[in-house]
Amino acid sequence: MAADLAIYFASGVHMPIENARNAVVRMLERTLELPLGDYLAEFQLTTAEADVAHARALDCIGNSIRLIRAAALPAG
């Protein structure tokens, strides 16, 4: 995922907003491809713990999207 973001940032001069959108979409696609269910099952989280983890993950994704968008916007 980091490699995808780096590629889009490197080409950001051409179409920065479109590259940011592509980076976010690709990052989310890759995240959905991960076998997270199997990984998380090992932790045996309670429902409340899983809810907190889910909320934190969404916050991280939101922060990443805001950072990508800010980096893609032209300075000025």
pLDDT tens for residues 21-35? 777 777 777 777 777
C-alpha atoms less than 13 angstroms from C-alpha of 63 in its C-beta half-sphere: 6
Output the tens digit of pLDDT for each of the chain's 76 residues.
566 666 666 665 555 666 667 777 777 777 777 777 777 778 888 889 888 888 888 888 778 777 777 766 666 5
Residue 19 has a pLDDT of 66
Could you state, in order of their start, the residue ranges of all structural domains in the chain?
2-72
> Are 17 and 72 a contacting pair, CB within 8 Å?
yes
pTM of the model as a whole? 0.48
